[in-house]
Structure 1
Amino acid sequence: MADYQVSRRSFLQGTALAVGASVLGIPQSLPAADEDPYGGFRMGLQSYSLRAFKLDEALQHTRTLGVGYWEAYPGHIRLNTLPAHISEHKAKLKEAGVSLIAYGVLGFDENETKAREAFDFAQAMELKSISANPKKSAATFDLLDKLVEEYGIPIAIHNHGPGHIYDKVDDVLEMVKDRHPKIGACVDTGHYIRSDEDPVEVIEKLGPRVFGVHLKDAKTIRDPEEIERLSKELPKNRANQLKREGKIFTILGEGELNVVGCLRALRELQYDNCLSLEYEENADNPLSDIEVCLKTVRESVTKV
């Protein structure tokens, strides 16, 4: 991984998680009811951050990290509306002390049967939103208008950076204009940085249509020699991204994201959905990096 991540990681990874949680500063359990290190935000994880772990282990790690909310990706909890499947996974979540309040990212098109399955699943799992990548068509959004009204569950359009259909905030705003108030956005802050947009301004522009947040950081690398050096150290997909865009994902607080500004903008909106940390790097051993990210959130929320 890149050198700018080494100083913190080398310290944090020096002790095994099982015996070293106190050294790492990782809470042994979730905060007591009268303690709230995240200032009222429903701090959680996009479970993709723990994609290298199977469900039970990922839930255990979430508990150890001291957060109690998830936006699950389908690799951890498959979209299935069978009652036994729903009951099994709700029981696992309850046992782990983790509340599942968002899910995705799911594609949507004009297929109503497929879309209803997603909404039936969301209703059965008692979700607050579905992160989505809907087709840009009037028929798709007509269907979503109908389903969000019927189910009362918001659709949160996820931006995915340069080259994707929801690259800029205007791509989202164009599609949600004059649509049902429960059709809005999941703001991925890292991808908006990749798209040369200010995530704070994005949140302000979307206003009450913000139904999800993937809290992620990125930084710009301008020096050609550094780009070349990092490209040799990074996985192929990240090296290609760096060469194309001059940007790379990094630990929260070590990039260009104005974390305090984002939290302040969300607080002004009285945002009450999952604040999902999504850390995509170092997939096989992400826990120490995730704790540094969470520490950044805890420190930032005191300044909001």
Structure 2
Amino acid sequence: MTTRRNFLQKGILGLASTSLVSIPTAFATSVKSETSKGKPDPFKLGIAGYSFINFNLDESLKIMKKVDVHYLCIKDFHLPYKSTVEEIAAFHAKLKENNVTGYAVGPIYTKTRKEIDDAFDYAKRVGVDLVIGIPLHDDLDYVAQKTKEYNIRYAIHNHGPEDKLYPSAESIYNLIKNLDNRIGICFDMGHNKRDGRDSVADFQKFSKRIFDMHLKNVTAATKDGSTCELGRGIIDIPAYVKMLRKVNYTGSCSLEYEKDMKDPLAGIAESIGYFKGVCDATR
């Protein structure tokens, strides 16, 4: 039996089987008309900067233009922590030229309070109101102090069963639930699933403290599960999109593509096209 989900997967996989040059054009043309139907979603589609670890900023923005995505979570390899005022201004000017907005910085790993200070200072100088971070448990109260001092939100990223600090969204929530409400979660749905969790149910359960999320699918709900194109994994993406709407999520949904990272264009295009197609088909 052919379901709507199977139809979407087959259509997008068919596009992905065409030449690499034709993929971006096909998505840019079809997605634009598809997403013009119905009421706009409250959430924004972005890309996590880590997806471009092997590419400079110009190359990264070129990929974003090809897949018609306009929000970027900024990583330090594109904008170093010690960037000057002039360098930050030039960075934002380049993003603007490409119709891209940098909405957050990180993920930033910290092991000292000085590094936490630097992370908040960096976010303030860059001009964003959200830090994606991975602090030590002992520093959570200090992070909460900083969110109040700077009025900048801080979202902790979960990294699956290998992560002794934050394997799942629940592990983060249990540590922050009584802290300042500007401390929240960057929900990595793929790593959450690899920890044996139901990512759709967990998004609903912890949605009030989820400030950002990484779109990602995985091959198995175990430590050995690997990341894959968004429509090819075990997470039910249509159900996930419906949950985003149900809880009225207004943050960013940023694809973090970690497969074929030295040649990611086809996988990014397939994943973005699939997500946009699901959004349209489930309205």
Structure 2 residue 114 is the aligned partner of structure 1 residue 116: no
Q: TM-score, normalised by structure 2?
A: 0.85
Deviation string 1:15-68 (CA, Å, 9 cap, x unpaired) is: 343x6643x33349x959x94797342101012222221111101211121010
Task: Assess, with a 3 A threshold, how the Cα gap between structure 1 residues 158 and 87 changes in structure 2: closer, same or farther.
Answer: same
CA distance, structure 2, for counterparts of residue 182 and residue 144 of structure 1? 10
Task: Assess, with a 3 A threshold, how the Cα gap between structure 1 residues 259 and 20 changes in structure 2: closer, same or farther.
Answer: closer
CA distance, structure 2, for counterparts of residue 278 and residue 197 of structure 1? 19
CA distance, structure 2, for counterparts of residue 49 and residue 97 of structure 1? 19
Aligned to 1:94: 96
Aligned to 1:106: 108
Aligned to 1:264: 242
Aligned to 2:147: 148
SS at structure 2 position matched to 1:185: strand
Aligned to 1:231: none
How far the C-alpha of 1:85 sits from its partner, in A, is: 2.2
Aligned to 1:48: 50
CA distance, structure 2, for counterparts of residue 80 and residue 10 of structure 1? 44
Deviation string 1:218-274 (CA, Å, 9 cap, x unpaired) is: 0229xxxxxxxxxxxxxxxxxxxxxx8342221101111122232233223332222
SS at structure 1 position matched to 2:219: strand
How far the C-alpha of 1:133 sits from its partner, in A, is: 0.7
Aligned to 2:60: 58
Task: Assess, with a 3 A threshold, how the Cα gap between structure 1 residues 196 and 157 changes in structure 2: closer, same or farther.
Answer: same
- For the Cα contact (< 8 Å) 1:27–1:65, is it kept in 2? no
Aligned to 2:5: none
Aligned to 2:264: 286
Structure 2 residue 177 is the aligned partner of structure 1 residue 173: no
How far the C-alpha of 1:9 sits from its partner, in A, is: 6.8
Aligned to 1:135: 136
Aligned to 2:184: 184
How far the C-alpha of 1:277 sits from its partner, in A, is: 0.6
- For the Cα contact (< 8 Å) 1:70–1:274, is it kept in 2? no
Moved more, 42-51 or 180-189: 42-51
Q: Which amino acid aligns with 1:202?
A: D
Structure 2 residue 72 is the aligned partner of structure 1 residue 70: yes
CA distance, structure 1, for counterparts of residue 215 and residue 150 of structure 2? 27
**Partner residue of 2:87 out of 85, 88, 97:** 85
**Structure 1: segments with no counterpart, 5+ residues:** 222-243
CA distance, structure 1, for counterparts of residue 125 and residue 224 of structure 2? 43
CA distance, structure 1, for counterparts of residue 181 and residue 148 of structure 2? 9
CA distance, structure 2, for counterparts of residue 284 and residue 10 of structure 1? 22
CA distance, structure 1, for counterparts of residue 227 and residue 244 of structure 2? 22
CA distance, structure 2, for counterparts of residue 178 and residue 143 of structure 1? 13
Moved more, 155-164 or 69-78: 69-78
SS at structure 2 position matched to 1:106: strand
Structure 2 residue 16 is the aligned partner of structure 1 residue 12: yes
Q: Which amino acid aligns with 1:195?
A: D
**Structure 2: segments with no counterpart, 5+ residues:** 1-8
CA distance, structure 2, for counterparts of residue 207 and residue 264 of structure 1? 13
Aligned to 1:249: 227
Aligned to 2:202: 202
How many residues align? The count is 270
Aligned to 1:157: 156
CA distance, structure 2, for counterparts of residue 185 and residue 63 of structure 1? 28
CA distance, structure 1, for counterparts of residue 160 and residue 220 of structure 2? 14
Deviation string 1:191-215 (CA, Å, 9 cap, x unpaired) is: 0111111111221221211011000
CA distance, structure 2, for counterparts of residue 283 and residue 206 of structure 1? 30
How far the C-alpha of 1:297 sits from its partner, in A, is: 1.1
Q: Which amino acid aligns with 2:43?
A: F
